Each structure stands twice: as C-alpha cells, then as structure tokens.
Amino acid sequence: MWRIEDSAELYGISYWGSGYFGISENGNLTIATKKDSPYWIELVDIVGKLNEMNLKPPFLLRFPQLLHERLRDVHSAFLRSIGESGYGGTYHSAFPVKVNQRREVIEGLLHPGLPLIFGLEVGSKPELLLAIPYQAQYDVHLLCNGCKDDAYITLALKTIQFNKNTIIVIDDVSETRLIIDTAKELNVIPQIGIRTKLYSKGSGKWESSGGDTSKFGLNTTEILEVIKTLEDNEMLSSLNMLHFHIGSQITAVSHIQKAVKEAARIYVKLQTMGANIQYFDIGGGLGVNYDSSKTSSSSSINYTLQEYANNVVSTLKTICDEENVPYPTIISESGRAIAAHHSMLIINIPGRKNVKQYEEVTVSEKDSSIVHELHDCYHNINIKNYEEYYPAAIELKEELINLFNLGQLGLEEKSKGETLFWKICQCVTSFASKEDNTSEQICKLEKYLSNKYLGNFSIFQSIPDSWAIDQLFPILPIHRLNEKPTCKGTIIDLTCDSDGEINQFVDQTHTKELLELHHLNHDPYYLAITLIGAYQDTMGDYHNLFGAVNEVHITQKNNDNWYIKHIIPSDTTANVLNNMKYETTELLKTLNKALKEREQTTETENFIKLYEKELGKHTYLNA
C-alpha cells in the first residue's frame, strides 16, 4: 500500500517545503500561506478553476501572502536573537530589487499593513528609477549599490532633498569624489555607505562573490583613501553605513560567522577613527533549502533561519563588547529567502518520449550467427546471471554494428539484433530493480532507458537558472500522490534545444538524475515546479519565441477558502513577435499581398484567417 507519507518522503516535501507545502488525504499537493497552518489549498482545485475559465497551462501561480509570511519570519528571527542575546541595537530588512523586479512583488512587500521593509536596495540606474516613487510614497530607505555615473548619483542625491533617507554605497574609490562634488553643487548633505571587500568568502555557487577578487567593494587601502577624502572635505560625518556581501545562497553557517567577524572588526576600527557608522549591512546570502539534504551542498543549507540570525547577532555583539563601541543597526538583504517560496510553475505533461515497446523477435536459420547469439542471450538471461549477461550483450551489439558497417548484415538482421539487445537491457533493469541493485553500471543503463516526459513549458522562459547554473528546483506531481509512481524519467521542454531538459531532482537525502512519476493515462497530468520566486521572473528569455505564461495571483482567506485576486494573461504569439520588432500587421499585409498574386481560393482566405487567429493565441501547446 502506497501512502501519502511515502510520497512526502520520496519528494522531500518536509525539507524544502518549510511548513508551507503538504499532501491532502486525497493525494493532492497543498500549499498554505502560513507556516504549519491547519488550513491549506489543494493546487488541483486552482488548476480546475483555471480550466473552467478557459485558461491554458502552463500557469505561474503567485501567492503574495507568502512574501509577507517570509518577511515576518526573517524579521522575527532577528528580533528574537536580539532580545535573547541582549544586543543593544535593532534590525531592519531591505529587499534587493534585483531578486525580483516585478511590480506585484515590490508592491506586495511594501503593503502599508506590513511596515517591515526598511528599504529597497538597488543596483542600477533603472532600478533606482523604479524605486524612487516607492520611496516617496512609503518613506522607505534607498540603498544605492552598483556602478554609478553622474546621472545615477545626481538622482540619488536629489532624493535626499525630499526624503533624506537615501544611502549611496561606495563600490569604487572614484565614486567618492563624484558624490562629494555633486553634493556640494546641490547643497545637500549626503548619506554614504562603504562596501568592503572581505577576505572571507561565502560557499556554494556564488563563492566568488566574496574574497580578494570579488567584483565589488573596497579593500583596506581603498577604505582608508575614502576616509581621508571625506575628512579633507569635512564629510566624514556623512559616512553612516558599512556594507558587505559574500554571495547568494550561502550553504554553510560557518562562512557567515567568519564574514560577520571580519566585517565587525572593520566596523569598530572605523568607529574609533571618527566615523559615525549607524548601519551594519550584511547583504544577502541567507539560503533556501532547494533539496532535502540540509547539508552544505550547493542547493541546500546546513542551518536554520534562527541559527543564521543568532550567528550574525552574537558575533557582532561579542566584538562590539570587546571594543566598547555602540551596537549598530543590523540590516540584511535576504531577497532569495523572502521571495523564493511565493511562486511556482504548474505544467501539464502531454506525453512521453523514449518509450520503447518491442515485440518478440522470430529468428530463422537464414539469420546471421550474431543474431542467434543475441537471441540465446535474451532467452537465457535471469535474475541470477543478468550481471554477467549484460556485458556480454554489449559486446555482441558492438559486433552487430561492425558487421553491418562491413556490409555483412542486412537491415532486417540489424533490426532484429538491436531489438534483442534492447529487450535484454529491459530484462537487466527489471532484475536489478527486484534486487535493489544501484551499481554505477545499472544506474547508467536505467537512465539511458528512462522516459522523457514532455513538459508544456520552456525552461529558458520560466526557470532559466535550471539551464544556466544547474539550479535545483523541487518538482513533483500536484495529484495522484496516494499512488505509487511506477515510472522514472527526466523532464524535457518544448524548445528544440538539447539543453531544454531537467535531469537533476530532489531526493530524500541527495539529488538524483531521474524523477519518479506516474504512468500517463487519458486524464491530464500536472507537475509543480516550486520555489521559483527569486530571480526567475526577470531572467527568462524568449528562446524559440515561447513567451510569458498565464500568471495567477491567489489569496487565501483565514480558512481553506481562497480566491483569484488577479490574472495576467500569457503572451500571445503577436506579443512575442512584436517584442522581436516584427509588426504583426505588416506580416499580415505581406502574406495577403503574396497570396493575392496567386490564384484566390476559399482555402487561401481560410488560411489567412487561421494565421491571424493563431497570432492571437498563447505560444504553448493547447493539448
């Protein structure tokens, strides 16, 4: 008997789900907008409602309340640590806009009923222009990072005239002089931060973001140069923030502790030099458990949110106490940890590839000896000898191909030999499964014979990090979780690109190359790709001209009930072509003109109508 608990363990839900995901008694994947809530939403109900509304998958489901919940979690963890440790300062959250620039995300975080966001961190001039109106409306701070030109610095300094809560972080020594001169010209007192380049590094994929060779930040000599320049211009009092960042998705808590310790030493030295540092900005890096291992693997973290906060607060407090300096306000930019959980992609599976069904082979006296040898191998293989017969079968297949290439076999004999070989391989995997044989040779064969489930989506549009940096995202069915999955395979997308395949999946304790799924029947089969709320929304591209999918915003009431708050329709083919600088009206004119030069028929008119109709549809499969 297969239980829903077995599915929960198989797909690692209790690890990466963080208390927000579960399985109903009906075997359906659920989500709750409050951690460990007794009230949840069955995702199949949402999909059913969208189908009734004649919306076609894939669907991007966004749960804005999860943004609020994650923000509260981070905030509460730091306040709890501050209270328990006796730290004399406080804590604020800043959201790095680069993690998700979508309007729905930014406005959701700045909801007036949840005044927990201290500021927005921007890393470019366009992001600064995006954030300035929100600063004016909600009175939040702007933390200005990234490469800066005259216009960037002028814009940032002018906001001080209106709001007085913009901090320009110096990432390069050359920016110091530009900030000073522009501030004098505008007659404003700037607020300045310094981004320090620590020797300490993070861990995981983004380890190179820290250390001596990191892209941004000032080394010790450059910090002293900035201090002297500010002193010479009587602006040292404007220096009120120390900032560092050692990389996204830090996998090991020891790296966090080491970096905070090094930065804290810089902080106390700056204080003793006369700087009035009020803010200690630890940057981003708070990781997310994308897999089930809870280790320091690149897709996991070996610490909890509370352990992260405790390490930051206790390390900073210890050094401040040793040096007898004031406790600064701690700021973190934990964008990934706040945004990742709030959205997921729901895809349907129209079919499978690589499904080999071979009929029995009849061998005659006319067939070559190599075909007879393969036939004997197939009929004699059993659970006791399959490990010996499999290497022999491989050698026989090599000989089969060589004989064919030498012109000594016909196509029919080659076909018989290949069919017998694949039937032998299927026997091998069947026997190995019964013995739970997971040797390297068997795993390689199993992967070779596995199914490729065709997903109605584009990896490059919806989860680009899966392709670009091998980011792991939890993937599982949204239904039939009370049934034992009997098939294994990978997920391929609609693009005609060999890279459009997912072949790394969450397991109970590690990653695996095949995903366990159910046999497809006549009913639709849906998968959820979860934890995609950070970075994926704005990094996707239009490979093969697959556009944005239908986006649906879901709000949960204080019980099991939910409602659709907002729907953003998917891109039509016309939208995508217009983005590629094709005017669809011109395309229609060209088609009409070309066809008018030929004989006009009813079929011609019908074809033009069909063409125009398809331009108005979304870019994915309707099946």
pLDDT tens-place string over residues 392-410: 999 999 999 999 999 999 9
Whole-number Å distance between alpha carbons of 147 and 156:
13
Is residue 173 domain-shared with residue 311, that is, in the same domain? yes
Is residue 324 domain-shared with residue 380, that is, in the same domain? no
Handedness of CA 520, 524, 530, 532 (dihedral sign): positive
Is residue 260 domain-shared with residue 398, that is, in the same domain? no
Is residue 293 domain-shared with residue 389, that is, in the same domain? no
Is residue 302 domain-shared with residue 380, that is, in the same domain? no
Q: Which residues on adjacent β-strands are paired with residue 501?
A: 492
pLDDT (tens digit per residue) in 281-314: 999 999 999 986 777 677 889 999 999 999 999 9
Is residue 99 domain-shared with residue 208, that is, in the same domain? yes
Q: How many domains does the chain have?
A: 3
What CATH number does the domain containing 404 carry?
A: 1.20.58.930
The total number of residues written for the chain in this structure: 623
What confidence score (pLDDT) does residue 259 get?
95
* CB-CB neighbours of 600 under 10 Å: 10
Range of the domain at 577: 573-615
Whole-number Å distance between alpha carbons of 253 and 576:
43
Q: Is residue 8 part of a domain?
A: no
Q: Is residue 87 part of a domain?
A: yes
SS3 assignment, position 345: strand
Q: Is residue 405 part of a domain?
A: yes
Q: Is residue 202 part of a domain?
A: yes
Is residue 374 domain-shared with residue 233, that is, in the same domain? no
Q: How confident is the model at residue 141 (pLDDT cuts 50, 70, 90)?
A: very high
Is residue 298 domain-shared with residue 404, that is, in the same domain? no
Whole-number Å distance between alpha carbons of 71 and 117:
8
Is residue 300 domain-shared with residue 160, that is, in the same domain? yes
What confidence score (pLDDT) does residue 595 get?
84
Is residue 168 domain-shared with residue 306, that is, in the same domain? yes
Domain endpoint, select from 400, 424, 448: 448
Whether 509 shows a pLDDT value over 70: the answer reads no
What CATH number does the domain containing 106 carry?
A: 3.20.20.10
9-13, 337-341, 443-447: least confidently modelled range: 443-447
Whether 114 shows a pLDDT value over 70: the answer reads no
Is residue 339 domain-shared with residue 289, that is, in the same domain? yes
Q: What is the DSSP letter of 565?
A: E
pLDDT (tens digit per residue) in 421-432: 999 999 999 999
Report the pLDDT averaged over residues 62-84: 95
Kindly report the pTM of this predicted structure.
Answer: 0.92
Are 531 and 340 within 8 A, CB to CB? yes
Q: Is residue 295 part of a domain?
A: yes
Is residue 336 domain-shared with residue 401, that is, in the same domain? no
Q: Is residue 485 part of a domain?
A: no
Q: Is residue 353 part of a domain?
A: no
Domain endpoint, select from 448, 481, 516: 448
Handedness of CA 385, 391, 395, 398 (dihedral sign): positive
Domain endpoint, select from 428, 448, 468: 448
Q: Is residue 596 part of a domain?
A: yes
